[in-house]
Amino acid sequence: MSRDLIVHLARFAGALRAGGVRVSTGDEVDALRALLLSDLGDPEDVRLSLRCSLKVRPRDERTFEALFARYWLGGEAPARARPAAEHGPGNPRPPPNPLGGEAPADGEREIEVPEGEELGSSREALLKRKHFDRCDERDLAEIERLMARLAERLATRKGRRLAPVHGRGRPDPRRSLRRALATGGEVISFARRDHPVETPRLVVICDTSGSMEAHGRFLLAFARSLKRVAKQTEVFAFNTELVRITQLLAGPEERVLGALSAAVPDWSGGTRIGESLEAFASRHLSELVDSRTVVVVFSDGLERGDPELLADALRRIQARARRLIWLNPLLSDPRYEPTARGMAAALPFVDELAPAHDLASLERLLPHLRS
């Protein structure tokens, strides 16, 4: 087995990681085994083998292809890789960052430590009532932690399988018979099983347009914490276009916001609520929303497009979902009446219109999310 090949593969995997592709050591082992079976003289064979064994998904394809061209076709071909002795097993030298930039090593995180201040209960209470648009960076870090705690209250993780229960439920032959052995094969009482309480299924659709900018980050943070506890949560962002961001939220903290603004076109731009919700209704409604799903829309309802379109989309979503909740940060203003064109059109199809301007208001939302 060629050591050069191993070193080269490890460098390539490192470069993929630096480029944001998740590659585990197990993937590298698979890739090496695949390479040993492949024809190393044939670049196409090497490319396809690597793509399959490193489990490259469509969204990572570009990064993979660019780095593949660099590492396996261009300058750093395996044959020309520097001799292994230079960085022997005991003394591995970090491979040169192929992207040229000074990207921090994977796993190295910037953790914001609030100076001297412990998260005390009075401060906590204050934060809960603090308007999102008046919070600064430091408040944000603390609020995100608070949110995670809030969302944990949702963590009533229960399966959908049949689980043993007392009393009512369907007969469970396996356990009944097992029990019957104790009484000489005579089934005296049936063991029963039933579906346990279901976990919440959520679909969160966030408005990230300019008018929502101050709130957008907090609401996304909330969506993120919800995602952590209720596994079946799907998150979308929209302003002029709808983008599914569930997978982006899974990354490490500091990378998420950057990835989001890259993925969502026109981040903090104008809004087309109607078209975005219509896009959601046509593309995702049938697969993501069923009668157990709660759909949450975060938006101020300042619609510039056709309110008819918005009303139609909401009607379709409401018909399928268990509940449709609309969170509107403007509601905190006592003078506000939901008369903005979009909001007025939306009202008949919304099960619940609630404020979302501070943490306390989000907290009140939690009971509605439990299905």
CB of 236 vs another protein, minimal distance in Å: 14
CB of 238 vs another protein, minimal distance in Å: 16
- In this structure, which long-range contacts are made by residues 242-247, counting pairs with CB atoms below 8 Å and at least 24 apart in sequence? 242/205, 242/276, 242/277, 242/279, 242/280, 242/283, 244/284, 247/59
Q: Look at residue 312 and give its three-state secondary structure.
A: helix
Nearer to another protein, 68 or 326 (CB): 68
The residues of the shown chain that bind another protein, judged by CB under 8 A, are 22, 24, 26-27, 30, 33-34, 37-39, 42, 44-45, 48-49, 51-58, 159-162, 173-174, 177, 180-181, 184-185, 231-232, 246-247, 282-283, 286-288
Nearer to another protein, 177 or 262 (CB): 177
Question: Which one-letter amino acid corresponds to residue 245?
Answer: I
Of 319, 368, 317, 308, the C-alpha closest to 341 is 308
Torsion of CA 60, 66, 69, 70, to 10 degrees: -120
Nearer to another protein, 28 or 300 (CB): 28
CA distance 198 to 177: 28
Nearer to another protein, 44 or 86 (CB): 44
Residue with token string 């100076």: 115
CB of 55 vs another protein, minimal distance in Å: 4
Instruction: For 241, list phi and psi in degrees, rounded to 5.
Output: -140, 155
Nearer to another protein, 174 or 335 (CB): 174
Nearer to another protein, 26 or 89 (CB): 26
CA distance 205 to 246: 10
Question: ∠ CA(134), CA(367), CA(246), 5° rounding?
Answer: 70
CB of 28 vs another protein, minimal distance in Å: 11
Nearer to another protein, 65 or 337 (CB): 65
CB of 46 vs another protein, minimal distance in Å: 10
* CA dihedral sign of residues 267, 270, 271, 276: negative
Nearer to another protein, 27 or 358 (CB): 27
Buried b (16+ CB within 10 A) or exposed e, 292-309: ebbbbbbbbbbbebbbeb
CB of 14 vs another protein, minimal distance in Å: 18
Indicate the helix (H) or strand (E) that contains 325: strand 323-328
CB of 127 vs another protein, minimal distance in Å: 32
Residue 168, classified by CB atoms within 10 Å of its CB into exposed (0-12), middle (13-18) or buried (19+), is: exposed
Beta strand pairing call for 192-194 and 233-238: unpaired
CB of 58 vs another protein, minimal distance in Å: 5
